[in-house]
Amino acid sequence: MARRETRSGFTNFHSKPLAAEANVAASNSVETDPFVADITRLLLTFFSVVAIDLLVVSLMTHRLRVWFPLWLDPQWATRRDPWVIYSQSYFAGIFLIPVLCRLVDRDFLTKVGAGARTAFWSLCVIAFAFVLW
């Protein structure tokens, strides 16, 4: 029997040891899913590149670097000295597509057949090539 002091100073006797209680409490806690952790890292990487491009490079070039400058200035490409220019941070999104495909393959497609995995990777390659083009 385990002996434990309570807040009031009285001694309680339990048949279950305290270590076993701690193990039960630990097993009931929410564990982080590896897929969620990897996707979080992927998004943090992506947004870090965007923030560096938007803040640092924009300050260095004295122009606002955005993905879609047409939304801010429809004639940005024909102006002699535009204040908004096209951002290169979209490459971060493009080159993270294969990483995302690998994460989906590793965590969701390990138990499916080779045909489904081949179809998935074919779609990933086609999407990657199209966006890159």
Would you say the pTM of this structure is higher than 0.95?
Answer: no
Overall average pLDDT of the 56-74 stretch: 83
How high is the pLDDT of residue 111? Answer: 86
- Output 125 or 52, whichever has higher pLDDT: 125
Q: Which of 52, 70, 48 is nearest to 61 (CA)?
A: 52
Burial category of 62 from C-beta neighbours within 10 Å (exposed 0-12, middle 13-18, buried 19 and up): exposed
**Which DSSP letter does residue 33 get?**
P
Q: What percent of the chain has pLDDT over 70?
A: 77
How high is the pLDDT of residue 121? Answer: 94
- Output 104 or 25, whichever has higher pLDDT: 104
Distance CA 108, CA 125 (A): 18
Residue 1 has pLDDT above 80, yes or no: no
Overall average pLDDT of the 1-30 stretch: 54
Residue 126 has pLDDT above 90, yes or no: yes
Cα 38 to Cα 93, 105, 125, 128, distances in angstroms: 15, 13, 21, 20
**Low-confidence winner among 28-32, 55-59, 90-94 (lowest mean pLDDT):** 28-32
Do residues 95 and 89 make contact, with C-beta atoms less than 8 angstroms apart? Answer: no
Q: Return all residues near 11 (Cβ < 8 A) that are at least 6 apart.
A: 3, 4, 5
